[in-house]
Structure 1
């Protein structure tokens, strides 16, 4: 957690303009200045040049695209009205020192975003930086039915990484209609470098329309290397900064019926904000790598703590209710030996918890995958594009 977003840097490089309502490209780069539907294969080998840049406020649909790049795959400028669906995005190693792999999508002050049924692999996720829409049905944010593998913020020289999330909302404030649902995000140990899989940084819904984060499956939040003892990431965190007020910090967020599996440090944390509720989620961590090697960076499944020491009205009315938890941490006994389901001293508003019985094993984690697959089948939903990505 603890993001400080660097802001928006728009390259002055103009590669070429596509003006047609439907464009097909092969191994090219695309700058969109006219609304329409675009499909094709786009590739950039330069960390500083996106595969696709959206530079219009007219409605744009990116559909059935295949994107491969060392930098951002899609970059959208202010006022974008953008749909991204059934696209496949693959991050390449950075070409510049001190920079991570690019984002699948980075949007600055968008007016509308619908991101659905995409596949993103070895990227540094989706960033929504501020907002210009009014929160009506046609001007809000929806991220659903996506499939992500390995959020990867590592630098190319192996010396450090940038904080990366599968989904980061940065200062998207007082927006009605936010929906993040039925996404499948998986990080493999030693092949990824994620901070918080989902981070609401100074971002908020409204009292009448809290941001909805529901029915997502997130597996994996590990340091690099995975057996390292120090890690600050999570499955989901509401986040902010020490200057936050009730008007500017995270708020009005409801996260429910999600599954967070094998997450070091924590599964779900409220570190900043007000009027946030986590309920009916499943938080399961065995503390083991797939080969049985112990993880050293687990701590507690969930916590509610005023990390930034915000004023009372900016950190209030937060609840963690009716969640199912089995989280292994050696040496703790909360509520059973070698468990730390509720963070000691930082979970006063955590009530109605169902604690899974010991032992919590790799098979317990596998059961969460089985439940996720069952949920998708029963509801006749699918994640990722069609035809599906075969790995």
Structure 2
């Protein structure tokens, strides 16, 4: 179980023009991620993923360099089964031994952002290795699964008011989804335009389908309040990232002003950020991204926070295949596990990297029961689309 090699690549897969969409991130023409391969001396390979940008918008050269030239060399020769000690040693850096001796974190200055994204990739890969070594799926190692399939919601929704109903209905028809998510916020130019699109969606779908909205943190608190008031009659299942993640106080202020459940977390990393959100009563649904929050280890800690504060856990899974499959394991094993985000926008980073078809049927996705993440990685695709 000693680690022999660590290799990260910037994988950039083009999105065909007919499936590209425009949001507040602009037009997305490629899906990018840092994909990590860790191999042990006895030939077990684990796959991980790190993210430094929402969705597919971002450059990954720096994160890949960090994994290959700074964190990777520290892992060579270490026991891959020491998942938590490795997590804590990378987080605390040169003070790792002191932190271990004293029983509390003593992190270095650069403890968030790219550092945690790199830790996330490593952690996911180590859990994959651990499961494969023991012949068990990760959810089994985490304590067992709640069910053999998980409820999912369709994530997309960029069309204008005239087309949003048809677009969301196509999602429902595609996988039997009982819940759909659409984008709102600065991409529409004004709150009333977003509200008009939501009202059109509700009229088209009727009362039987849950609708969530995601503003990507682009409203101010005042704008989010105006928007929430305009869609008060639309029975929204949640309002995701109404304001920037930098403003926890504003988020709590907004939540107190509305009856719409608030979902946040894709822009947060580590249990410490989520503990602050929970203590402030700033959210109803926590959405850690396994490729950014600190991996499976940290996502489970965040899930424990959600359970302790009677909140729900619905990880952000607009990601590549390693992060998506990691999220499935976490949702299945966490008592607060709630819903799987399933991209209905173009996402080749999931569908092209997995040899097995990833699909939702009757609104549910089957939980892999093969060892590790349950991901059969297509290495040919990685080789083909590695950015040189």
Which band: TM-score by shorter chain? under 0.3
- Which structure is higher in strand share? 1
TM-score by length of 2: 0.26
- Which structure is higher in helix share? 2
TM-score by length of 1: 0.26
